[in-house]
């Protein structure tokens, strides 16, 4: 699978999801708007499986794809929301995700999710 994020000509945040049935020789893409016009932009995307993809961007926005839908993940640091941009995301699997942004690097551990998930 391939994910592309960007803005349409009318400034709608949009995702294009490409799937291949021939080992990547050709792709079929679907397009969907991501939120509302002028919503924060996505800056990075990383996935380890078709049902485990992370996207991060402006204003501390982080989202997770479970294979069917995107869900927004609230990221806080001692109960204060992160509002600075994230520029990168990396995952070693569902139990380890790193969010890197303006003067911050956070590690998400799904085993600690009941306590906020970020260590």
Evaluate if pTM is beyond 0.85: no
C-alpha span between 93 and 81 (Å, rounded)? 24
pLDDT at 114: 53
| Residue 60 CA to its chain's centroid (Å) | 11
pLDDT at 69: 87
- Joined tokens for residue 7: 């803005």
What's the average pLDDT block by block, 10 residues per block, for the chain (119 residues)? 80 84 92 75 89 90 88 78 91 86 84 52
């Amino acid at each position: 699978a391939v994910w592309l994020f960007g803005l349409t000509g009318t400034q709608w945040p949009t995702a294009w999801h490409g799937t291949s049935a021939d080992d990547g020789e050709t792709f079929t893409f679907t397009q969907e708007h991501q939120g509302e016009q002028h919503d924060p932009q996505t800056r990075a995307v990383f996935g380890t499986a078709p049902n485990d993809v992370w996207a991060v961007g402006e204003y501390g926005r982080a989202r997770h794809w479970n294979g069917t839908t995107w869900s927004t993940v609230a990221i806080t640091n001692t109960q204060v929301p992160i509002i600075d941009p994230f520029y990168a995301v990396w995952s070693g699997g569902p139990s380890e995700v790193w969010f890197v942004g303006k003067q911050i690097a956070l590690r998400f551990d799904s085993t600690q999710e009941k306590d906020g998930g970020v260590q």
